[in-house]
């Protein structure tokens, strides 16, 4: 295999594992210091080597959140191999399709797990097996699949240099956790927010990474209260609901802020959270292709955000573009997604010329025309979501505007339609309203916006 396909493995020790040996870097059901983590990584390197992994090779990880996941990830990189991340929640069918598509040489999966379904970190006994794949064909240290919320997943690659650059951006963002502080991580470490924003940034910056015992509101608050040092909770909008479900939460002087990524938190939900906990609700916008793009960690500009240091964000034809020196897509050359140093986000938005603040307005394909009148499906969706009877909603355009909703207890579709008649002009109102017990979500927790998937879910209700 040609040399130099994957960046030198030295970066793992220099950027992620350096520091005092007795410094605790990871807390779950036990404390892991840097000496222990280095030992675990070395042990996993030997196991991966025994399974046939070499520098320039490729390994796929399909592990639940665990110390085993962290150790195998760093061991793969320390070997000089390309690491492919597969969400442990994927079905067997999805995993088989991904392995056929990505063709790793080694696959690491859980042989035995211990811990309940609500455990944030589980005790894993993993096994590394040879797979009839191929060495890394690109210089990417990390390969991920996109969320697939709007269609088939894309294969996305990031080099070690790119990951290090993102860590540099994090270090220069005002409001991120500082050395000696803690990140209570709820976001999945298989995906970019939890992976880089919590795990890699925490190891790099000397910020202690704490995982709650269980994915419940009380357990998250217990994790915050466990130590006296300042703590930032990092999650997605779903986790705000977990904390809001806690009645009479204790005073938590350690709680510095909650920072969310993913979908924009509705204004009413954000106000309710800040009123209850009296800390900033920060927001981050990012993509698997780039990592963090823009932030508002103090909740000062909601819904606008400040671009991360070192990234240029521009608006062109109503679409937000991100500076990116090379295409992040593996095996895909699509000028509609990346061209001339610019990544097309497919997000509609604006950039304020004076302040540089970025406002994300929703997916670009949310702009449609009804009878010659422009309709923004993002506006329609926000209006539906604001109704007391609605707990979740996705609005799409098939041949007509269609809303898929989850309703609050005792609410009815007729009541929703009556309220929308008062709030939306006739050409904006959904012509079809489907009530689902649960809206489809991706493995990362994002609402699925694929019309095909949503229509199938609606058919299953009426079948």
- Nearest partner of 181 among 206, 200, 199, judged by Cα: 206
pLDDT for the residue numbered 375:
83
pLDDT for the residue numbered 92:
86
pLDDT for the residue numbered 1:
34
pLDDT digits (tens, 9 = 90+) for 102-144: 999 999 999 988 876 667 788 889 999 999 999 999 999 999 9
Q: Mean pLDDT score of the chain, rounded to an integer? A: 89
17 plus 132 within the same structural domain: yes
If one counts the domains in the chain, the total is 4
356 plus 380 within the same structural domain: no
Q: Using an 8 Å Cβ cutoff, are 324 and 343 in contact?
A: yes
In this predicted structure, the answer to whether residue 441 has a pLDDT above a threshold of 90 is no
Question: Does residue 181 belong to any structural domain of this protein?
Answer: yes
Domain stop point among 92, 124, 151: 151
pLDDT for the residue numbered 152:
62
Assign 153 to helix, strand or coil. Answer: coil
The residues, any chain, with a CB within 8 Å of residue 91's CB and separated by 6 or more, are none
pLDDT for the residue numbered 3:
40
In this predicted structure, the answer to whether residue 4 has a pLDDT above a threshold of 50 is no
18 plus 141 within the same structural domain: yes
pLDDT digits (tens, 9 = 90+) for 285-319: 999 999 999 999 998 998 899 999 999 999 998 89
291 plus 176 within the same structural domain: yes
The residues, any chain, with a CB within 8 Å of residue 420's CB and separated by 6 or more, are 383, 384, 387, 429, 430
The residues, any chain, with a CB within 8 Å of residue 80's CB and separated by 6 or more, are 6, 7, 8, 9, 54, 55, 56
Take residue 91 and report the two structure tokens written for it. Answer: 């079905």
Question: Does residue 2 belong to any structural domain of this protein?
Answer: no
pLDDT for the residue numbered 322:
95
Please tell me which residue, 136 or 262, carries the higher pLDDT value. 136
pLDDT digits (tens, 9 = 90+) for 361-401: 877 767 787 866 778 888 898 889 889 899 889 999 888 99
Distance CA 129, CA 96 (A): 15
pLDDT for the residue numbered 373:
72
250 plus 383 within the same structural domain: no
In this predicted structure, the answer to whether residue 242 has a pLDDT above a threshold of 80 is yes
Please tell me which residue, 221 or 348, carries the higher pLDDT value. 221
pLDDT digits (tens, 9 = 90+) for 145-175: 876 555 567 899 999 999 999 999 999 999 9
Tell me the HSE value of 150 on the side-chain side, using a 13 A CA sphere: 12
CA dihedral of 64, 65, 71, 75, whole degrees rounded to 10: 60
Please report, for the domain that includes residue 381, its CATH number: 3.30.300.30
Question: Does residue 158 belong to any structural domain of this protein?
Answer: no
pLDDT for the residue numbered 151:
53
The residues, any chain, with a CB within 8 Å of residue 301's CB and separated by 6 or more, are 357
With pLDDT > 70 as the criterion, what percentage of the chain qualifies? 94
User: Which of 194-203, 417-426, 449-458 is predicted most confidently?
Assistant: 194-203
Please tell me which residue, 371 or 423, carries the higher pLDDT value. 423
pLDDT for the residue numbered 463:
65
143 plus 227 within the same structural domain: no
Domain that residue 395 falls in? 371-462
Domain stop point among 324, 340, 365: 365
pLDDT for the residue numbered 2:
37
pLDDT digits (tens, 9 = 90+) for 37-59: 999 999 999 999 999 999 999 99
Cβ-count burial of 450 within 10 angstroms (0-12 exposed, 13-18 middle, 19+ buried)?
middle
139 plus 183 within the same structural domain: no
441 plus 348 within the same structural domain: no
Average pLDDT (235-245) is 84
């Amino acid at each position: 295999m040609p040399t130099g396909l994957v960046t030198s493995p030295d970066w793992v020790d220099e950027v992620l594992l350096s520091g005092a040996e007795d410094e605790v870097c990871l807390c779950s059901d036990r404390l892991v210091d840097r000496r222990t983590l280095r030992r675990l990584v070395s042990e996993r390197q030997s196991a991966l080597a025994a399974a046939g992994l070499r520098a320039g090779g490729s390994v796929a990880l399909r592990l639940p959140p665990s110390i085993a996941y962290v150790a195998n990830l760093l061991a793969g990189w320390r070997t000089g191999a390309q690491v492919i991340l597969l969400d442990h929640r994927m079905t067997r069918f999805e995993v088989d399709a991904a392995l056929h598509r990505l063709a790793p040489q080694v696959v690491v999966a859980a042989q035995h797990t211990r811990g309940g379904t609500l455990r944030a970190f589980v005790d894993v006994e993993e096994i590394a097996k040879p797979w009839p794949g191929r060495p890394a064909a690109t210089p990417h240290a990390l390969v991920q699949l996109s969320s697939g919320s709007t269609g088939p997943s894309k294969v996305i690659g990031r080099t070690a240099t790119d990951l290090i650059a993102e860590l540099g951006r994090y270090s220069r963002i005002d409001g991120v956790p500082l050395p000696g502080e803690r990140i209570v991580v709820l976001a999945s470490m298989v995906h970019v927010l939890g992976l880089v924003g919590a795990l890699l940034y925490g190891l790099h910056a000397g910020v202690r990474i704490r995982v709650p015992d269980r994915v419940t509101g009380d357990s998250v608050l217990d994790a915050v209260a466990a130590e006296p040092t300042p703590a930032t909770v990092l999650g997605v909008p779903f986790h705000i609901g977990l904390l809001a479900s806690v009645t009479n939460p204790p005073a938590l002087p350690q709680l510095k802020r909650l920072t969310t990524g993913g979908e924009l938190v509705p204004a009413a939900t954000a106000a309710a959270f800040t009123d209850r906990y009296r800390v900033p609700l920060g927001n981050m916008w990012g993509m698997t292709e780039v990592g963090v793009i823009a932030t508002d960690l103090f909740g000062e500009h909601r819904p606008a955000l400040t671009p991360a240091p070192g990234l240029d964000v521009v608006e062109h034809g109503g679409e937000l573009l991100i500076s990116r020196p090379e295409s992040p897509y593996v095996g895909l050359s699509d000028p509609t997604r990346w061209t001339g140093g610019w990544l097309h986000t497919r997000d509609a938005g604006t950039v304020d010329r004076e302040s540089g603040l970025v406002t994300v307005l929703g997916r670009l394909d949310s702009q449609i025309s009804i009878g010659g009148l422009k309709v923004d499906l993002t506006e329609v969706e926000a209006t539906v979501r604001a109704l007391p009877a609605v707990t979740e909603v996705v609005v799409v355009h098939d041949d007509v505007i269609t809303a898929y909703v989850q309703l609050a207890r005792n609410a009815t579709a007729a009541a929703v339609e009556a309220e929308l008649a008062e709030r939306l002009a006739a050409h904006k109102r959904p012509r079809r309203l489907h009530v689902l017990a649960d809206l489809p979500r991706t493995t990362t927790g994002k609402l699925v916006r694929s019309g095909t998937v949503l229509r199938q879910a609606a058919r299953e209700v009426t079948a």
